[in-house]
Amino acid sequence: MPRLFTALTLPPDVAEVLQRRQSGLPGARWRPPEALHVTLAFYGEAQERQADDLASELARITGGPFEIALSGVGAFGDAHRSHTLWAGVVMPNEPLSVLAGRCKKAGERAGLTMEARTYRPHVTLAYLKPQANPDRIGAWMAGHNLLTSPPIRTDRFGLYSSVLTPGGSHYELEREYLL
């Protein structure tokens, strides 16, 4: 069963800027440029019928082109241990929030169980090994917190499958949808 999610891809120039910041932190498994994206909705594992239904529901989403911008960096974690470094998306952004909500509803209509957590758009830059030094993580974030991007125009989103490998997740674009 594939793991599915919808996302906005980043243009190569923005991915390159992010990639230049991906260094100087032992214990970080940096994401390659082709894996940098803004997740809209994560669906998890889906049966073939659910995946087909999801693809049909996503095709019904309407909207129009809009812009996003990146600003700042941070970390997700628990119990005083960070496990993910990210670049933030400037919020509020109504078109982005509406699209993410529509993608979530499409998953629900396809019979998938959706996460209840609040949507926090970001670009995952690295996954951190448990032994990563918290002081070094804090120093890396302080050194890169002024990250900004010019406006990034988006006129499409994609449905991706994710395969877990020993080297990390591998993503494959399954379908693309114009806004």
- Please give the share of the chain, as a percent, with pLDDT higher than 90: 88
The pLDDT of residue 14 is above 70: yes
Closest CA to 66 of 149, 157, 152: 152
> Which pLDDT score is estimated for 168?
73
- Please give the share of the chain, as a percent, with pLDDT higher than 70: 98
Show the domain range for 39: 3-178
> Which pLDDT score is estimated for 26?
94
The pLDDT of residue 1 is above 80: no
Mean pLDDT of 9-13: 96
* pTM over the 0.75 mark: yes
> Which pLDDT score is estimated for 151?
97
d(CA 55, CA 65): 20
> Which pLDDT score is estimated for 166?
77
The pLDDT of residue 130 is above 70: yes
pLDDT tens per residue, range 136-152: 999 999 999 999 999 99
Q: How many domains does the structure of the chain reveal?
A: 1
Q: What CATH code is carried by the domain that includes residue 150?
A: 3.90.1140.10
d(CA 157, CA 58): 10
DSSP 10: P
> Which pLDDT score is estimated for 117?
87
pLDDT tens per residue, range 84-124: 999 999 999 999 999 999 999 999 999 999 988 899 999 99
The pLDDT of residue 78 is above 80: no
Quickly state the pLDDT bin for 79 (edges 50, 70, 90).
Answer: low
Q: Which residues contact 137 (CB under 8 A, 6 or more apart)?
A: 25, 75, 82, 85, 128
